[in-house]
Amino acid sequence: MRKRRSFKEIREAYEGYVSDSELKFKELTPFEQKKIRDKIIQQAKKDRWLEIQNYFIALLILVFLGFLFYALFLD
């Protein structure tokens, strides 16, 4: 049976395969930051509205099916 490897052994095994890379972000002016922020807010509002519409349509379908089953089994 093989013994389980420790975290240190696993880290040493991967040492040559991964590298520490630094992320570099583009410097933005305050106007560009506001523009991007406004786009994100606008997209979030659109997504929220679409989600509300989907729930409303699902509710209408459930109500319709409820009335349909009620009408069928009423007889």
- Tell which wins on pLDDT, 8 or 37: 37
Mean pLDDT, the chain, whole residue set: 89
Return d(Cα 58, Cα 68) in angstroms, integer: 15
SS3 track for the chain? CCCCCCHHHHHHHCCCCCCCCCCCCCCCCHHHHHHHHHHHHHHHHHHHHHHHHHHHHHHHHHHHHHHHHHHHHHC
Say whether pLDDT at 2 is over 90. Answer: no
pTM for the predicted model, two decimal places: 0.55
Mean pLDDT within 42-56: 98
